[in-house]
């Protein structure tokens, strides 16, 4: 067994920061129901509202525009379910004469893709926009799809597998000019690059705590004043009736603390985590022949590097690296376990065989230059061994 463990899968989830953990442990003593009017309730509520201000500050949003949810998946589903209600008559059926078009992309997270696919089964016209070979939306195709029939445009700010960043401000500007609602899944962007809902001009924006060193099972949805929102979970009057259920105070407090730290650290995230990525990228290009880097050459998350290794199989690389104490992924965590090649790599035109030989390395706080050196020593012989095996097999 290797003593060393180097986690390079920060886009799947991040470790809980020690400051967040300490704040949450202290908060577990605060048991009040944040909706109760007595002192214990008010104490819990005060903490929830402090967290709301911290999340708002991170996103450039007023605290009143922040709704707490169970995470990114719920936030995204809430937006799509809202559109389902908007486009339907009182009998729940789609109104063919109304706005029934949805534009999204082929590289969204499964929780958006499947929400859009569900609306399609109900009769909505859904456009899954193609992207170019670096993962950017094709703006000409987007403009051609936009019309007065479009109800919602939902485009992720940064991709979880290849890290490509979209020009959300421009997409939102065109969307608003067409009179449609604009949503962005910014789960992978928040805490890594500046995310300001005013500068972006979005109506809805999704974030999740566990991708920014906070706890799992808690997240938020930003909603612009005046934009419609129907609750996904009906019940009590929590969150102004937009999301029922007794407050998950400690989760919310953890999210707030993580948001506060993310805002504080944002100025050095790009340079420090970006430097690790650069060192790794250059080391890899120098040591492993014939590799291909997937994603945009410039508009890319500072922490994400997706690499195709022709002639080596992804799952085998992942397992060999794991034995050496290095944890990576072959796509998104949500897609692993499936034998289909990554839908994101397919969308950028990577051949299925090559997509099967691709690894996502995602970095974050806690990784040192020595860790990168260790990976750069460990990985090349693994790739060489697997490539030699596949050559033997293909000649057998």
Ligand X SMILES: *Cc1c(COP(=O)(O)O)cnc(C)c1O
Residues of this chain that interact with ligand X (CB under 6 A) are: 71-73, 109, 111, 156, 160, 185, 187-188, 208, 210-211, 219
Rg (C-alpha) for the chain, rounded Å, is 22
Task: Please indicate whether residue 111 is annotated as part of the active site.
Answer: no
Encoding tokens for residue 318? 């992942």
66-69/219-223 β-pairing: antiparallel
Q: What is d(CA 391, CA 317) in angstroms, rounded to the nearest whole number?
A: 16
Shortest separation between residue 289's beta carbon and ligand X, angstroms: 31
Shortest separation between residue 328's beta carbon and ligand X, angstroms: 16
What are the backbone dihedrals phi and psi of residue 361, each rounded to the nearest 5 degrees, phi first? -105, 125
CB 78 within 8 A of CB 229: yes
Catalytic residue among 334, 351, 366, 381: 334
Q: Where are the alpha helices (DSSP H) in the chain?
A: 18-27, 39-59, 72-86, 110-121, 139-145, 168-177, 197-200, 249-287, 314-323, 343-347, 352-355, 369-395
CA distances from 87 to 119, 149, 225, 282 (A): 10, 10, 20, 50
Shortest separation between residue 59's beta carbon and ligand X, angstroms: 15
Among residues 45 and 183, whose Cβ is nearest to ligand X?
Answer: 183
Among residues 72 and 231, whose Cβ is nearest to ligand X?
Answer: 72
Q: What is d(CA 224, CA 65) in angstroms, rounded to the nearest whole number?
A: 6
Among residues 332 and 378, whose Cβ is nearest to ligand X?
Answer: 332
Among residues 184 and 378, whose Cβ is nearest to ligand X?
Answer: 184
Give, to the nearest 10 degrees, the angle between helix 369-395 and helix 314-323. Answer: 130
Shortest separation between residue 184's beta carbon and ligand X, angstroms: 10
Among residues 219 and 357, whose Cβ is nearest to ligand X?
Answer: 219
Q: Cβ atoms within 10 A of the Cβ of 141, count?
A: 15
Shortest separation between residue 346's beta carbon and ligand X, angstroms: 17
Among residues 185 and 260, whose Cβ is nearest to ligand X?
Answer: 185
Beta-bridged to residue 293, according to DSSP, are 307
Among residues 222 and 309, whose Cβ is nearest to ligand X?
Answer: 222
Shortest separation between residue 338's beta carbon and ligand X, angstroms: 16
Shortest separation between residue 375's beta carbon and ligand X, angstroms: 22
Q: What is the largest CA-CA distance in the chain?
A: 76
Q: What is d(CA 7, CA 326) in angstroms, rounded to the nearest whole number?
A: 6
Torsion, CA 141, CA 144, CA 146, CA 147, rounded to 10: -170
Q: What is d(CA 305, CA 330) in angstroms, rounded to the nearest whole number?
A: 12
> 266 CB contacts (<8 Å, ≥6 apart)?
191, 194
Enzyme catalytic residues = 334
């Amino acid at each position: 067994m290797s003593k060393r463990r180097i986690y390079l899968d920060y886009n799947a989830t991040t470790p809980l920061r020690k400051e967040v953990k300490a704040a949450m442990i202290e908060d577990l003593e605060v048991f009040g129901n944040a909706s109760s009017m007595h002192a214990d309730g008010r104490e819990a509520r005060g903490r929830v509202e402090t967290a709301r201000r911290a999340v708002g500050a991170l996103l450039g949003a007023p605290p009143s525009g922040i709704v707490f949810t169970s995470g990114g998946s719920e936030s995204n589903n809430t937006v799509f379910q809202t559109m389902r209600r908007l486009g339907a008559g009182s009998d729940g059926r789609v109104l063919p004469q109304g706005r029934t078009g949805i534009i999204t992309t082929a590289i969204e997270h499964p929780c958006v893709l499947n929400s859009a696919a569900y609306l399609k089964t109900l009769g909505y016209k859904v456009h899954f926009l193609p992207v170019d070979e670096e993962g950017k939306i094709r703006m000409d195709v987007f403009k051609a799809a936009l019309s007065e029939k479009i109800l919602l445009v939902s485009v992720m700010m940064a991709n979880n597998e290849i890290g490509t960043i979209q020009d959300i401000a421009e997409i939102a500007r065109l969307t608003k000019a067409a009179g449609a609602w604009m949503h962005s899944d910014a789960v992978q962007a928040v805490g890594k690059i500046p995310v300001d809902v005013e500068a972006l001009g979005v109506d809805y924006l999704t974030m999740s705590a566990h991708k920014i060193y906070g706890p799992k099972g808690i997240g938020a949805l930003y909603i612009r004043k005046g934009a419609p929102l129907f609750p996904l979970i009906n019940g009590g009057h929590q969150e102004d009736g937009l999301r029922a259920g007794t407050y998950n105070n400690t989760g919310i407090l953890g999210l707030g603390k993580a948001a506060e730290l993310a805002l504080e650290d944002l100025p050095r995230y790009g340079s420090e985590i970006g430097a690790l990525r650069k060192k790794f990228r250059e080391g890899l290009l120098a040591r492993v022949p014939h590799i291909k880097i997937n994603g945009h050459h410039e508009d890319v998350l500072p922490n994400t590097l997706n690499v195709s290794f022709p002639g080596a199989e992804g799952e085998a690389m992942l397992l060999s690296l794991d034995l050496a104490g290095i944890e990576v992924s072959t796509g998104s965590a949500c897609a692993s376990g499936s034998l289909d090649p990554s839908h994101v790599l397919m969308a950028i035109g990577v051949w299925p065989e090559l997509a099967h030989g691709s690894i996502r390395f995602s970095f974050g706080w806690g990784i040192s230059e020595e860790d990168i050196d260790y990976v750069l020593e460990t990985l090349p012989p693994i790739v060489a061994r697997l490539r030699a095996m596949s050559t033997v097999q293909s000649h057998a």
